[in-house]
Structure 1
Amino acid sequence: MEAPGGVLSQLCALEVKARSRKAQPRQRSRVKELRARVVALTAQRDLLRADIQALKDIQKRRTRLEERGDGDEDGTESEDPEKSQLLQLMARQTQLKELLHAHHVIGGYDVVQTRQGKGMCVTLTTAYEGTYLDSFNLEIELKPTLRISRHNVPPFIPLSGLGDLQADIRGFLDTLGTHLNAFAGRKHQLRLVKELHTSIQVMESNVLCSILVLMLTVPTKTMAVLCSMDYTDHARCLPTRVCFHCQDEELPDSPKWKNNTSLLMETPVHKALATMKMMGHIV
């Protein structure tokens, strides 16, 4: 007859085995999720490296042009005239962007007096990833109190809820600039999606660009996937919620598509879609 201690040891061993078997599926799922995350981060890294290399090439060409001078046509380089002119334009454009960026960083606003000093017109210029976009203007009456008389700010941005114009005009303009930049950035991303991703159909969007629904196609199953993106924080260019809907109910909860959700919430939509295409998740 076997000792009681031996029976207890066997029972403990069986319990440990049972627990390890239950843990194995969770571990495998976690490993798949981590591997998919590694693939996504690797694709992002490759895109960033390509962008950095392109910026380095432009900077080298700009430095070379500045050393030669705008009017120097000594012919020491083997570039044709059209390419040389293009490089000069690129260098000049870079200089202007840097000046505009410096003006924006120091909090400068373009202000013009109006109505013989009784008012002023403030211009706010929006930009996204180095691309300058739309400009918006406010005409402000100075007397007897500060009051916005005219403006071309979109009506869905409530000026009354952005701060106290009387007590802190700088804070008001900063908050307004943040909302305008976010709106212009979302609008620019939508434009890039339509231009760069012709295989992806934009099913729905609104004037504020706070709702975006895309029709994606999974290549392995030739299945359509609806991607719904909500931008509830109107002061940001990135969505606060991303949802996938398709016939395969298990697909949105898979590690691969959970990583796609994180990617879309952390990366501009046109870049996130490029990464998803590179990984073979969509067509």
Structure 2
Amino acid sequence: MKAQHRAQVVQQKTAVIQRLRSKRDALRTRVTAQSAGPMLDILADTQAALTPQLDQVDVSTTLLKERVETLQDILEAYHLTGISAKVRELNSAFTFCINTAYEGSYLDSYYLDIQTQHPRKIICHNIPAFIPVEQMARTYLELDLRRFMDLLCDALNAYTSRRYQVEQLQELHSMFLTGQVQRNAAYNLLKFRYPILCGDMEQDVQVKLVYKDLACYLPTGVTLTCTDVESMDAKLECHRQLFEKVGLHRVFDSFKLQEEVAISSRNLSTAQSSASSSCY
């Protein structure tokens, strides 16, 4: 029964992830279908169209207004995918904003000022140093801004999502961890330990999660080690599959439902000491 329930939980979480990603891809398809040219050209057209000429009442003004509305709709489609833009300097540069989110929660916003004149270049930005934004720019910025922004958006969303998962793990499940989560700046290498129940015995499981691609939300490599490997092999394999398919904090939600993890002895001692102190 526990194995069946575990499989159902994994299937439900996987379905939610796939549905959200399908919505994101559909929005990007909408952007592609509506765009009449490169993203910067659309922005430039919008800026050029928003002039006092709109006050003139004639046929050309009506057509111009329709063009502005179309361009604004396209920019709104970009905004729905997490990317927005505004003019920084007239006909010279634009400020792009990438809003990151995970599980319906907005996380961080990142900004880039991009010069639109050829050769196009990034003037300034607040992208984390471990994301190779300059390398991406050399490859895509001049020829395909949309591709550049999509790759950057994916990398930033994945980074903030990994960080969010770790934060939620430590906030919601710290009692089930032995010590702190060790991680690097990009949160694409994580190490931690948690106690697992094996009959009446408690064993510490050492976890190493590796995310080989900066755009990965879930680990591409999961290593679980335990002192008593043979007797724990089947259970550890089930845990490994959960780490591969479900967000980090959701894995421990599943563990708690299955009562497969124990409160860390260190945390239990702390809790008992606090309880004893409160009695006096």
Please give the range of the TM-score, normalised by the shorter of the 2 chains. Answer: 0.5 to 0.7
Residue 200 of structure 2 is aligned to residue 234 of structure 1 = no
Residue identity matched to 2:236: W
Per-residue deviation, residues 242-264 of structure 1 (Å, max 9, x unmatched): 11122112255x22221110011
Q: How does 1:156-195 map to 2 (within 5 A)?
A: 156-162=130-136, 163-195=139-171
Residues 104-149 of structure 1 show CA distances to partners (whole Å, capped at 9, x for unaligned) of 6854732111133311100000010111110000001122321001
Query: Is 2:82–2:99's contact at 8 Å kept on the other side of the alignment?
Result: no
Within-5 A mapping of 1:88-99: none
TM-score, with normalisation over the residues of structure 2?
A: 0.64
Of 246, 251, 258, which aligns to 1:272?
251
TM-score (norm 1): 0.63
Q: 1:242 to 1:114 in 2, by over 3 A?
A: same
* Count of residues paired in the alignment: 195
Q: Say if 1:213 and 1:120 are closer, same or farther in 2 by CA, change over 3 A.
A: same
Q: Map of 1:72-151 to 2, 5 A cutoff?
A: 103=77, 107=81, 109-151=83-125
Aligned-pair CA distance for 1:228: 1.1
Shift of 1:40: 1.3
Q: 1:215 aligns with which of 178, 181, 193?
A: 193
2:271 alignment partner in structure 1: none
Q: Which amino acid aligns with 1:158?
A: P
Give the secondary structure class of the aligned counterpart of 2:201.
coil
Q: Is structure 2 residue 205 aligned with structure 1 residue 225?
A: yes
Measure how far apart 1:241 and its partner are: 1.0
Structure 1 position 47, deviation (Å): 8.5
Cα pair 1:182 1:237 within 8 Å, conserved: yes
Between stretches 186-195 and 162-171, larger displacement belongs to 162-171
Kept in 2: contact 1:230–1:240 (CA 8 A): yes
Q: Per the alignment, do residues 145 and 275 of structure 1 end up closer, same or farther by CA in structure 2, a change over 3 Å counting?
A: same
Q: Secondary structure at the residue paired with 2:150?
A: helix
Aligned with 2:168: secondary structure? helix
Q: 1:107 to 1:40 in 2, by over 3 A?
A: closer
Out of 218-227 and 117-126, give the one that drifted further: 218-227
Contact conserved, 2:10 with 2:245, CA < 8 A, in 1?
no
Aligned to 2:226: 246
Look up the equivalent residue of 1:198 and give its one-letter code: S
Q: Is the 1:36–1:259 contact (alpha carbons within 8 Å) kept by the matching residues of 2?
A: no
What residue ranges of structure 2 are gaps of 5+ in the alignment? 15-75, 263-280
Is the partner of 2:216 in helix, strand or coil? coil
Structure 1 gap segments, 5+ residues each: 1-34, 49-101
Distance 1:115 1:47 in 2: 45
| Contact kept? 2:207, 2:224, Cα under 8 Å | yes
| 1:256 maps to 2:230 | no
Post-superposition CA distance 1:194-242 (Å, at most 9, x none)? 1100221334111100011121102331221111111112111100111
User: Contact conserved, 1:36 with 1:256, CA < 8 A, in 2?
Assistant: no
Structure of greater Rg? 1
2:86–2:95 Cα contact (<8 Å) kept: yes
Q: Deviations over 1:166-187 (max 9, x none)?
A: 0000110011000000001001
Give the structure 2 partner of residue 83 of structure 1.
Answer: none
**TM-aligned CA distance change 1:105 to 1:135, over 3 Å:** closer
